[in-house]
Structure 1
Amino acid sequence: MHWPGGAMVHCTIGRVVIVSASIVALAGCMPWMSNQGDKAAPSAQVNAAKAAQAKVAAHAASLAAAAKAKANELGQIPVLMYHRIIEKPTSVDDLDPKVFRAEMERLVAEGYVPITAAEYATGRIGIPAGKHAVVLTFDDSSPSQLSLDGMGAPKAGTAVAILQDVARKHPSFRPVATFYVTKDMFGVTTPEEQAQMVTWLRNNGFDIGNHTRDHLNLRGREKKAVFDEVAAGHKLITDLVKEASPVTLALPYGNQPTKAEWARKGNSGKVAYDYGGVFLAGYNPAPSPYGKDFNALGIPRIRSGVKKGDCSKFCSAAWLDWLKANPDKRFTSDGDAKTVAYPKFKAPFMAKQFTGQALAY
């Protein structure tokens, strides 16, 4: 046999003769070396077995982590509803900035982490283990919710400024919320100013939702009238910033049309909408999006308010008290957005479409 360069190699069973100034190892002439290489390389079966073992170990670790966090991702989520944040409230929907700040601080203290309405409605909830989801929603796009100074920063005392301030003091508190806008958008009137507001919100992690263009009561209206008004609100947003296409709708006054489905999906002219969720005006905590009782056509919200008068039982302070007293009823994360973790005995309440993500411990 000739080696490149002219060296001649004679192979026999018992010896190798190499005619060369250098020593050349030829694995092809040394079957015992080839066999050793085969033995050193893990077989496909060994790799498969190791992968299976790793999968079992990872699943066991996930179960242990879920149990440690007391995860219950089939639990209830408070969807809090705000309107104007002003120092001298004139209606039950208004809230003093000090009261709003105190409520945000309470959410921090009780382990809540905000998510957007879009994240909630589509089941994309990624918050740390042991934390509880809360959705902050703002209706009617009031200047008290967001106003920008000449440098593009939220003005002090607005809802967004307070949210960001609380988050700076408490890094675990995610400063996100959903703003349900109408044509009276944050007190600005020109398309350029309105686009500026929507762009700022989107660039800072906030969610834009449809509240219809004219804030008309949809109850009792004809199908076409409902489609026209919802589509007009959708177009209002996407004409300003195409990428800000809303994922959810908040019903004006919380009133559903004759057929609830009209508010979720429809079209008018060239504008079509198909929402992940439609929100009502207020009452009680919302079900988990992973549970059988989740209804995308009518998601309940809770009006913010202290425990007095008509708020003594059904506003935010009362419901947060109830969830604190009944921790097994509220949504608690396992820290993994890819799984839906819950105690085994709650399995009957799991929605079938999330079976592949189930982590029952």
Structure 2
Amino acid sequence: MLSSIPLTRIIMLANVLVVTVAVVVLLTLPTPPARPGASGSGGPTRGPSQPPRPSASPTPDPGLPSAELPPPITASPEFARQVKANEAGVVPILMYHRITHRRLASIDRTPAQVRKELERLARDGYVPVTAREFATGRMDVPAGKHPVVLTFDDGHHSHFSLQADGTPAKNSAVGIIYQVARKYPGFRPVATFWVNRYPFGLQERRDQERAVRWLVGRGFEVANHTWSHPYLPGLGKKAIAGQLARVERMLKRLGVPPSETMALPFGAMPRKRSTVQSGKWQGVPYRFRGVFLAGAEPSVSPFARRYDHRSIQRIQSNGKKGECRKWCSQYWLEWLDRHPRERYTADGDPDRISVPRGLRGKIRSDRKQLINAY
């Protein structure tokens, strides 16, 4: 559907590119200094038996848009037809790394580039959801809109810090997201931050706690990206478990719920995939509803037969030069504009999966009772 090249080859090519660039960046650049005072298993559930939606209470800070989800509706087949709902369609999951005014690596983005891309998404009818909401099937965006997942790897200090007045730094990822949400009220201010041992470059526990609680309390997701960002295929089962469990232990101490999602460092999957899906180390368990790769195309719907929660595709945020000619965000967003029927379009109803009648067979068999075909 998306490419004539087999998916396994796409994953291999994209991940090799990302691994190569990321390794060079990590080896040549120093760890950012601390900034004191700154700051599953199985598929998704949907329907009457699903768990409560993750909390995303309106922010108490004046002037900051809320992450509250819209009230649910009941979608009839005729209504689904009117809004052109297709919940078997693909979802762009965008991958960001550092945000810096001067790009030192191809995976870096400037604040202006991030702002421009998010504004494009807002104008095109995309509404952000977190990786957790995607993996658990809770993409309850308004009818006729399209979910997009904004993900930020490595917990870099450019992703989040607070100014003296307690508001997010203007050119941080969170600051930019709020600016776009203020300009485009339908653009929900949420994202997923996958962190290592020093979330957002912070080394003091009180600063880490302040940062992650600020984010989680406003609907953002802070989750697992391993302790020291190693190349997992080079580690044994016990070492991998230690990498993941140490982050879970840290997040628990900081007041964050257990991670339901994780992103593979360098997008590199261990030979035995089960080692990163669930396990235990020194009495600390972990279990993920979604394991995310590093490229190179939109993800299939979490309700689709082809969906595999153990290896979820992402798209690197970038232009169309060099290796990104057909693999990165600008290419794929343009592709989705030209192929709107391939894109996930919501029905606004959390208890139904609305699709054109001809796509009924693309929905997983354990979700057929929820299909609302037109």
TM-score range, shorter chain: 0.7 to 0.9
| Structure 1 residues 1-361: aligned runs within 5 Å | 62-241=76-255, 243-361=256-374
More deviation in 301-310 or 73-82? 301-310
Aligned partners of 2:269, 2:283: CA distance in 1, in Å?
A: 24
Q: CA deviation at 1:232?
A: 1.2
The more displaced of 146-155 and 293-302 is 146-155
SS in 2 for 1:81: strand
Number of equivalences: 302
Aligned equivalents of 1:104, 1:301: Cα separation in 2: 16
Deviation per CA, 1:147-172: give whole Å up to 9, x if none.
11123210111111110011011110
**1:220 Cα deviation (Å)?**
3.4
Q: Which structure dedicates a bigger proportion of its chain to helix?
A: 1
**CA contact 2:258–2:286 (8 Å) conserved in 1:** no
Q: What residue identity is the alignment partner of 1:200?
A: W
SS of residue matched to 2:152:
strand
CA distance in 2, matches of 1:270, 1:149: 38
* Identity %, equivalent residues: 42
Q: Is the 8 A contact 1:221 1:258 kept in 2?
A: no
- CA RMSD, aligned part only? 1.3
Unaligned ranges ≥5, structure 1: 1-57
How far is 1:118 from its partner? 0.1
Which of structures 1 and 2 has the bigger CA Rg?
A: 1
Unpaired runs of 5+ in structure 2?
A: 1-72
Q: Give, in whole Å, the separation in 2 of the partners of 1:266 and 1:152.
A: 38
Task: Return the TM-score normalized by structure 1.
Answer: 0.82
Q: What's the secondary structure of 1:66's corresponding residue?
A: helix
Question: Separation in 2 of the partners of 1:228 and 1:287?
Answer: 31
Counterpart of 2:167 in structure 1: which amino acid? Answer: A
Report if aligned partners of 1:116, 1:176 keep a CA contact under 8 Å in 2: yes
Say which SS state the counterpart of residue 161 (structure 1) adopts.
helix
Letter of the aligned partner of 1:313 in structure 2?
K
Equivalent position SS for 1:310: helix
Does the aligned pair in 2 maintain the 1:220–1:258 contact within 8 Å? no
- Tell me whether 347-356 or 88-97 shows the greater mean CA deviation: 347-356
1:232-270 CA distance string (max 9 Å, x none): 1221211211x4321101000111112112111111121
Check conservation: 1:277, 1:297, Cα contact below 8 A: yes
Q: CA deviation at 1:317?
A: 0.2
- CA distance in structure 2 between the partners assigned to 1:166 and 1:244 by the alignment: 27
Asked if the contact 2:193/2:223 (under 8 Å) is kept, the reply is yes
**Which protein has greater RCO, CA pairs closer than 8 Å, 6+ apart?**
2
Q: Deviations over 1:316-354 (max 9, x none)?
A: 000001111111111000111111100111111111221
Residue type of the partner of 2:116? A
